[in-house]
Structure 1
Amino acid sequence: MARLVTTQLLLLLAWVIAWGAQPTASRARTELLDVCMDAKHHKEKPSPEDKLHEQCSPWKKKACCSTNTSQEAHKDISYLYRFNWDHCGKMEPACKRHFIQDTCLYECSPNLGPWIQQVDQSWRKERILDVPLCKDNCQRWWEDCRTSHTCKSNWHKGWDWTSGVNRCPAGATCRTFESYFPTPAALCEGLWSHSYKVSNYSSGSGRCIQMWFDPDQGNPNEEVARFYASARTSGAVPCGVGALPLSLILVLPLWLLG
């Protein structure tokens, strides 16, 4: 038994080293805390916005979005991206609320620095990748959207934009969300090309990003960003392992990281 465990750990270590040797996209600048993405509607630096609209209001003390952006985030088809949530009929209000929160987090949060990656896209130079979304947030999103309808499992690409707004591509069939996203992870991770990665942690743990929070209780995502930024920059992991996803680093045997 001991020999088997040793063999498995050695195989894991070899895989870790091989992974670490692979090239990975990295943020050009070194700041990971209190930063805004270089994207279509983001401000250059976070600052107070006293009049952020409704579901974007938790970020008013320190926001990467403007008041106008927060207002547009609540419209069915806004100038932000001309994206129609109701492309397969009217989306349930409870479901749409999650998409508005998702938009507010993306546009307004200054706490996504550890997951910002460079991209070569016409409309933005940076994106987020594998943000550890609290599992209870993802579960509620999925449950509230199960009976709404869509025609695609990846909303980042493949739409018909000939009318100026997104329409289902030829041959795509409108079915329930549950048909395209059979599990919460399928929704939260697949919807925006892995912008999110479902965490094993829940809201309030200090180890996962909350899509929404009570601003009167402070911003819990600040602690989360500090934790992951520290893990990426502390040098506590061997060469190569630092390129691993944080979700994997956190479950590796401690002796591999010593």
Structure 2
Amino acid sequence: MARLVTTELLLLLVWVAPVGAQPRTLRARTDLLNICMDAQHHKEKPSPEDKLHDQCSPWKSNACCSTNTSQEAHKDISYLYRFNWDHCGAMEPACKRHFIQDTCLYECSPNLGPWIQQADQSWRKERILDVPLCREDCQRWWEDCRGSFTCKSNWHKGWNWTSGHNQCPVGAACHPFHFYFPTPAALCEEIWSHSYKVSNYSRGSGRCIQMWFDPAQGNPNEEVARFYAEAMSGAGLRGAWPLMCSLPLVLLWLLS
């Protein structure tokens, strides 16, 4: 019985100890807010860019991208990554708009800090992982691309680059998007190696990142980043304080 009590006590203390170490008043982890990732074309720190081009313009008040990067984001086979959207014939304009907006979000947003991870890649030291993309933005992306064609489900790797830009690898056949991406989640989550994760939340909820937004209404992703930064700081552990208060009673019960 003594050994059992000792084991239970140790398990309880190991579980509760990190909670006890948390301060009673927790703040957002400011190191996750208003930052740029360490990647090929990102600025070191976000700042205003009054002349951001077209679809990147929503970020002009505070951006991680330069004006030149925003212009290149709208070009086919730009110098940014030499990526050819039209690798299986001309991509429909409605579909391409989503890929341009995706590029603008990736290059320009200073609100992706909670999802930045280290990346062991020659062209970047950091990447984003599992950014909670609003479900409507993903759904619309998938719907607008159903009539376009591709030959791969993961666009981060596996291409033939011998021509200087991406081409389909040998044996990879071109099919409509829905062949490689049968659901919206398959498209948004798999195409960039899980950079995004489709959220159950809707636009305007303050709980998911919007790819599209009206800058006249402010940047809704600032609130989203703040929410997740606070969650990652350990704010969710405050509910465990009642358990700490009842710990003496638990110990007495175990020893009785």
**TM-score, scaled relative to structure 1:** 0.81
CA distance in 2, matches of 1:236, 1:214: 31
Q: Residue deviations 1:54-108, cap 9 Å, x none?
A: 0000000000000000000000110000000000000000000000000000000
What's the counterpart of residue 75 of structure 1? 75
Runs of 4 or more above 3 Å deviation: none
CA distance in 1, matches of 2:195, 2:42: 17
Map of 1:1-258 to 2, 5 A cutoff? 31-237=31-237
Q: Secondary structure at the match of 1:88?
A: coil
Query: Quick one: which amino acid aligns to residue 145 of structure 1?
Result: C
CA distance in 2, matches of 1:163, 1:73: 20
Segments of structure 2 that go 5 or more residues without pairing to the other structure are: 1-14, 16-28, 244-256
Segments of structure 1 that go 5 or more residues without pairing to the other structure are: 1-16, 18-28, 239-253
Q: CA deviation at 1:234?
A: 3.0
Query: Quick one: which amino acid aligns to residue 49 of structure 1?
Result: E
Q: CA deviation at 1:237?
A: 3.4
**TM-score, scaled relative to structure 2:** 0.81
**In proportion to residue count, which structure has more helix?**
2
Q: Secondary structure at the match of 2:38?
A: coil
CA distance in 2, matches of 1:222, 1:97: 23
Q: Residue deviations 1:190-219, cap 9 Å, x none?
A: 000000000001111100000011000000
Q: CA deviation at 1:235?
A: 4.3
What's the counterpart of residue 12 of structure 1? none
CA distance in 2, matches of 1:160, 1:118: 26
What's the counterpart of residue 4 of structure 1? none
Query: Quick one: which amino acid aligns to residue 193 of structure 1?
Result: S
Corresponding residue pairs, total: 216
CA distance in 2, matches of 1:30, 1:227: 11
Query: Quick one: which amino acid aligns to residue 192 of structure 2?
Result: W
CA distance in 1, matches of 2:236, 2:135: 27
| Structure with larger Rg | 2
CA distance in 1, matches of 2:56, 2:212: 9
CA distance in 1, matches of 2:111, 2:119: 19
Q: Secondary structure at the match of 1:90?
A: coil
